[in-house]
């Protein structure tokens, strides 16, 4: 799944690092060093933070997915419901999906 905000981040990356060209195949480069800086600055990052954040916000807004969210998350329905039944407030989820590269100061 790629939210519209995710596409904006890809466009930002392409403009900054790839001559404005969005990749159409292969892997997308990311900076491990930048990711490590984000993790260190926040101090609460775990290996599943990005996935859990996306899912929590998507569930809060009842965003539809291809297949079930449990399948997309790699969980059984029971596990998914245990972790995601207490959804975030929709206002917070809308703010998450409204985030754009222009909102973030990157080093």
Place of tokens 């029971």: 78
pLDDT at position 1, please? 63
Q: What secondary structure does DSSP assign to 13-73, as a single string?
A: HHHHHSTTPPP-SSPPP--HHHHHHHHHHHS---TTHHHHHHHHHHHHTT---SS-HHHHH
pLDDT at position 19, please? 93
Closest listed residue to residue 48, CA positions, set 4, 84, 95, 3: 84
Task: Name the band, by pLDDT with cuts 50, 70 and 90, for residue 95.
Answer: very high
Over residues 60-89, the pLDDT tens digits come to 888 776 667 788 778 888 888 888 777 688
pLDDT at position 91, please? 93
Over residues 5-51, the pLDDT tens digits come to 888 888 988 898 889 998 888 877 777 887 788 788 878 777 778 88
């Amino acid at each position: 799944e790629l939210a519209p905000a995710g596409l904006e981040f890809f466009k930002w990356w392409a403009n900054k690092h790839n001559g404005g060209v969005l990749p159409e195949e292969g892997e997308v480069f990311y900076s491990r060093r930048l990711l490590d800086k984000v993790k260190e600055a926040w101090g609460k990052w775990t290996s599943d933070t990005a996935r859990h954040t996306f899912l929590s916000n998507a569930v809060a807004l009842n965003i539809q997915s291809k297949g079930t969210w449990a399948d997309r998350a790699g969980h059984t329905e029971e596990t998914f419901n245990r972790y995601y039944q207490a959804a975030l407030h929709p206002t917070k989820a809308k703010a998450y999906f409204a985030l754009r590269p222009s909102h973030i100061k990157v080093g």
